Amino acid sequence: MIDLRSDTVTKPTPAMRQAMFEAEVGDDVYREDPTVNRLEARAAEIAGKEAALFVPTGTMGNTIAIKVLTEHGQEVICDSRAHLLDYELSMMAWFSGCLVRAIPTERGLLSWDAVRRQIRPVNPYGAPTGAVAVEQTHNMAGGTVYPMSTLCEICDGAHERGVRVHMDGARIFNASAALGIPVHEIASRADTLMFCLSKGLGAPSGSILAGPASLMDKGRLYRKRLGGGMRQVGMLAAAGLVALEESPAKLVIDHANAKFLAEGLAKVPGVQIDPSKVETNIVVFDVSATGHAPADVSARLRQRGILMNAINDRCVRAVTHYDVDRAQCIAALEAVTETLLETQAATTASAKTS
Ligand code: TLP
C-alpha cells in the first residue's frame, strides 16, 4: 500500500526506536520523567515560548489552549474549515464553553480585516470574543501557509483589542520549511502554539503546547483532567526529541513530492488543482468535473494499493511524508490518472448507450 491518507501514518525511524528503547523514564505526573522534561524544555526553546507541555495529541493541545485563553461563554474566531472546528468533536464548546465565530476564507487564511469585523466588545447581547485561532499550515485548504505579514497584522490587531491568539501549528515545521523562517519567529506573536510531533516529523505520537509559563501551569491541570497524565511517557518523548532534531530538514522532500503530484494531477482531464498554490505537503484536488464522487475515487484507488482520503463531496486529499518516496508518488499519480480516465471512459460509454 502507498499510504497518502495523511502524514499521521508515518512510522518511527530506527533512530527514534533506538531512543525509545534507551529512554530514561520517571513519573511525569510528578514531573519526574527526565526525558519528558528535556523534550518540554527543547520544545519551548524551538517555539520561542517560556514553557511547553507534552500532550498525547494535537486535539488535546488545541483543546487546552482554547481553555486557558478563554472564559466560558466567549467566542473563538477561526476560519470556517479550521481543524479546531471541523475535526475536534466540538471540544471548544464541550470543554471550554465557547461559541465559534467562523469566517469563510478562500485558502483557509484569515486576514486582520476579516477578524477585526468579527471581534465583539462586551455588550449586553453578544458573546465577547475570547480568542482568535489561526491554522499554520491550513490542512483542509491544502497545506496553505500564512505569510508573516498577515500573521503579524492579526496578532497585533487582536492584542490591541485585548484578544489573544492561538496558533494551531500542527504542521508549523512545514510552514517553516516553506517560508525559510524558524518556528519561533513564525509563532512569535501568537500567545500559544500547538505543534505535532506525530505528523511529518514522524514521532509515533505526541504534540506540544507552548506558551507563557503561567498558562502552561494551568494547562498541566487540564491535561490531567482530560486523561493526559501519562506517567512513564519518556519513551514517547524520546522519539519526539529525535523527531525535533532530525525531521524538519527533510520536509522539503515531502514538499517537492507534493508539488510533483499536483503538477501531474493538473494534467488529468477534469481534475481541478492549481499546482502553484501547493506550498507544502498537502494536495487537495477537486474531482467533481470528472463525474465521479471523491469517495468512489478513494475506494477505487484502494483496490490499486493507493490510499487517499475523500475530504468532502468534491475533493480528494493526498498528503506526502517520509514513508512515501518519489517512485511511489509516480505510481500513485499513474493510479489516479488511470482511475479517473477509466471512470470518464465508462461515463462517456454509458451516456452514449442511454
Ligand atoms: N489532522 C488529521 C485529521 O484529524 C484530519 C489529518 O490527517 O490531517 N490540527 C491540525 C491542523 C491537524 O491537521 C490535526 C490532525 C490536528 C490538529 C489534531 O491532531 P491529532 O490527530 O494529534 O489530535
CA 184 to mean position of chain CA atoms: 17
Domain 250-344: state its class: alpha beta
Q: Is 85 in contact with 59 (CB distance < 8 Å)?
A: no
For residue 204, how far is its CA from the centre of ligand 1 (angstroms)? 14
Atom 15 (ligand 1): residue with closest C-alpha? 58
For residue 171, how far is its CA from the centre of ligand 1 (angstroms)? 9
pLDDT per residue, tens digit, the chain (354 aa), is 999 999 999 999 999 999 999 999 999 999 999 999 999 999 999 999 999 999 999 999 999 999 999 999 999 999 999 999 999 999 999 999 999 999 999 999 999 999 999 998 888 999 999 999 999 999 999 999 999 999 999 999 999 999 999 999 999 999 999 999 999 999 999 999 999 999 999 999 999 999 999 999 999 999 999 999 999 999 999 999 999 999 999 999 999 999 999 999 999 999 999 999 999 999 999 999 999 999 999 999 999 999 999 999 999 999 999 999 999 999 999 999 999 988 566 655 555 655
For residue 348, how far is its CA from the centre of ligand 1 (angstroms)? 38
Per domain, the residue ranges of the chain are: 10-246, 250-344
| 3.40.50.2300, 3.40.640.10, 3.40.47.10, 3.40.50.1100: CATH of 10-246 | 3.40.640.10
Find the residues whose C-beta lies inside 6 A of ligand 1.
6, 8, 57-59, 62, 83, 87, 135, 139, 168, 170, 196, 198, 207
Secondary structure class of 39 (helix, strand, coil): helix
Q: What atom in ligand 1 is closest to the CA of residue 207? A: 22
Backbone conformation region of residue 336, classed left if phi is above 0, alpha if psi is from -120 to 50, else beta: alpha
- Given the C-alpha cell 503538477, which residue does it identify? 263
Q: From the CB of residue 75, how many other CB atoms can be counted at a distance below 10 Å?
A: 22
Residue 77 grid cell: 474566531
The DSSP line for 235-290 is: HHHHHHHHHHHHSGGGHHHHHHHHHHHHHHHHTSTT-B--GGG--SSEEEEE-GGG
Instruction: Give exposure, 195-229, as e/b (b: 16+ Cβ within 10 Å).
Output: bbbbbbbbbbbbbbbbbeeebbebbbebbeebebe
- Residue whose C-alpha is closest to residue 23's, from 217, 238, 168, 171: 238
Q: What atom in ligand 1 is closest to the CA of residue 138? A: 11
Tell if the pTM clears 0.95, that is, is over it.
yes
- Residue whose C-alpha is closest to residue 164's, from 138, 213, 128: 128
For residue 88, how far is its CA from the centre of ligand 1 (angstroms)? 8
Q: What atom in ligand 1 is closest to the CA of residue 196? A: 22
How far, CA to CA in Å, does 337 sit from each of 294, 300, 320?
Answer: 14, 12, 18
The DSSP line for 112-124 is: HHHHHHH---S-S
